[in-house]
Each structure stands twice: as structure tokens, then as C-alpha cells.
Structure 1
């Protein structure tokens, strides 16, 4: 009977240690997932910012303004050459 109890206790201890290992792996996995989630959120925010800047720069009004500015620069350069 004592031998049976000892075997059950050893099995219980091994099960607890195995469970702790699995729990630690679960916690570590959650930590890695959290890091990847934060990285993903930062990348998405940066993409949104760059898209906003791109749309502002390439808006028709800004493009027209840039065309006008370059035209004036060419005219000024032509006048300077004369």
C-alpha cells in the first residue's frame, strides 16, 4: 500500500512539474504574441501616416502648386540667362 501511495505521489509531482512547464510556455507564448501585436500596431500606424502624407502631397491642389512653382523656376532661370 505504501508503495502505491509513493508511486501516486511521484506521478502527482511529475504532473505538477509538467503542468508548470506548460504554463510557463503558455505565458511566454502570450508575451511573444503581445510583442508581435504591438509591433503590428506600430507598423499599421506608420503605414496610415505615410498614406496620409502621400495623399496630401499628391492631391490635385498640391500637384498644381508644384507644377506652377517649377514653371516659375524655369522662367526665372531663363530670365537669368538673358
Structure 2
């Protein structure tokens, strides 16, 4: 495995004209972290768009339920907490 890592790091360093393996590995790690963050933002934006266009329009426009109403729906007894 180390031979593979060394070969890939050498190849990346050569292609990007970097100073060596350490620089290539650092570059690759930073690029991977940036890509992971970017993908996360894209997923978040897509989810928000679906919520705005598909889900929220289906919901009634009303006040949120109170804590007492929520506990009643769940069958909780406020005096015992269960």
C-alpha cells in the first residue's frame, strides 16, 4: 500500500509541478476536504429547494402546536411525565 501511495503522490507532484510527495499529499487532502464540503452544500441546497417547492406548500398555514397539545397528541400525562 505504501508503494501505491508513494507512486500516486509522486505522479501528482509531477503533474502539478509541486515540490514533492508531502506537498502532493497535502494538496490532495485539501482538495478532498473542499470537495466534500462543496457536495454537502449542493445537497443542502437541493433539499431546501425540494422543501420549498414540494413539501411546504402542502402544509397548512397555521400556528405551531403548543407543548401541551404536543404532549396530548403523544399521549403523555403532564403530571407524571409519562
TM-score class normalised by the smaller sequence: 0.3 to 0.5
Flag the structure with more relative contact order, 1 or 2, with Cα contacts below 8 A and sequence separation at least 6: 2
In terms of fraction of residues, the more helix-rich structure is: 1
